[in-house]
Structure 1
Amino acid sequence: MSYCSYIPNMQPEERKELHKNYHDNYYGFPIHDDDELLGRLIMEINQAGLSWETILKKEVSFRKAYSNFNIKEIAAYTEEDRNRLLNDAGIIRNKLKVNAAIENAKTILALQKEFGSFENWLDFHHPKTKEEWVKLFKKTFKFTGGEIVGEFLMSTGYLPGAHDADCPVYNKVAAQKPMSFDNKNNP
């Protein structure tokens, strides 16, 4: 069952509204801000082993804990910052995930120097199959397995499939011209 068809049947109403907001306004839409791209990657990494709902409920806490996803600030985090994050009950307190956020911010700074932006790096490598993307991400970033990479790329418009063709949001996403709609394999 797709995310599009699953949401209308969710209960209770608060849960449905949380997912509906993400589905209708964020999922599959392109992101043109590198800090927000890192933020989505951090959230996808933190979702590993947990429900997406858990992460959505903690998004405000993630933003606060991770300097509103500011790449330069996160890349400069010290051991004191790592300890602060590992003791922050508002986020996922997993050492591997915290370390990945910091190291991935450093990696993105290097990509920005070479490509001008993280988005340009993603655009440069588009199109790729999910398997090719996973290989590239595993070589480039920390804590990026198949599900994390697939959801990150689908949620940011680099891989097709975020919305069913008959979903009302599908055309709203298409109007934003995500890279996934340049892919000849897109429905």
Structure 2
Amino acid sequence: MSYCAAIEYMPEERKALHKAYHDTLYGFPIHDDNELFCRLVLEINQAGLSWETILKKEATFRKAYHNFNIEKVAAYTEADRERLMADPGIIRNRLKINAAIENAKTILALQKEHGSFEKWIAAHHPKTKEEWVKLFKKTFRFTGGEIVNEFLMSTGHLPGAHTPDCIIYKEVMQKEPMWARQ
């Protein structure tokens, strides 16, 4: 057994940061709506950038977005938008900031209707990647194909986070990712 090739062949100076995410978060199911929202916001902010950039900024993202508390982010005002635009610890892109706030409002509506964001996702399972992308584009802002794929793969809703020969694959499978229940 070894690690996924991306980790196995990564230069040592970058490996620790990526390995921590790979070994404990990537592909593992998330059952907390605020953490699902966190992953969605981080994936949206990664668009056009490296995942390493996002991993390095995760703590400042958490602070800036009130630890991804959906209710708090949904209530952000214009002053909050400007505060985020001025925060050098996050990605200062107005479209991505607006998407986070609007997506928080959408998730609140989904929670009201389905009980939770997680239950909304489960209610649509299983779908192909293409079907998921279509649904997310219809429901959320700033959610293209790669964002949706990585969000769902990284949260255990689509396969592919780890190769079957990766030593973490077995741990992920013990957590019963949604895709394995098909």
TM-score by length of 2: 0.97
State the distance in 1 between where 2:173 and 2:136 align.
Answer: 25
1:14-70: CA deviations, max 9, x gaps? x10000000000000000000000000000000000000000000000000000000
Match of 2:36 in 1: 37
Match of 2:117 in 1: 118
**Secondary structure, counterpart of 2:20 in structure 1:** helix
Q: Which runs of 5+ in 2 are unaligned?
A: none
Shift of 1:182: 1.4
Q: Which runs of structure 2 are paired with 1:51-70 in the superposition (5 Å)?
A: 51-70=50-69
Match of 2:6 in 1: 6
State the distance in 2 between where 1:80 and 1:117 align.
Answer: 28
Match of 1:166 in 2: 165
**Secondary structure, counterpart of 1:168 in structure 2:** coil
**Secondary structure, counterpart of 2:163 in structure 1:** coil
State the distance in 2 between where 1:100 and 1:115 align.
Answer: 21
Shift of 1:166: 0.6
Q: Is the CA contact 2:4–2:165 (under 8 Å) kept in the aligned structure 1?
A: no
1:125-151: CA deviations, max 9, x gaps? 000000000000000000000000000
Match of 1:175 in 2: 174
Shift of 1:119: 0.2
Shift of 1:11: 1.7
TM-score by length of 1: 0.95
Q: Which runs of 5+ in 1 are unaligned?
A: none
State the distance in 2 between where 1:57 and 1:126 align.
Answer: 32
1:134-174: CA deviations, max 9, x gaps? 00000000000000000000000000111000100001000
State the distance in 1 between where 2:6 and 2:149 align.
Answer: 19
Higher relative contact order at CA 8 Å, sep ≥6: structure 1 or structure 2? 2
RMSD of equivalent CA atoms: 0.9
Q: Which amino acid aligns with 2:85?
A: L
Q: Work out whether 1:47 is the aligned partner of 2:46.
A: yes
Match of 1:97 in 2: 96
State the distance in 1 between where 2:141 and 2:63 align.
Answer: 22
The ranges of structure 1 where at least 4 consecutive aligned residues each deviate by more than 2 angstroms after the TM superposition are none
Q: Is the CA contact 2:31–2:118 (under 8 Å) kept in the aligned structure 1?
A: yes
State the distance in 2 between where 1:67 and 1:40 align.
Answer: 14
State the distance in 1 between where 2:155 and 2:174 align.
Answer: 14
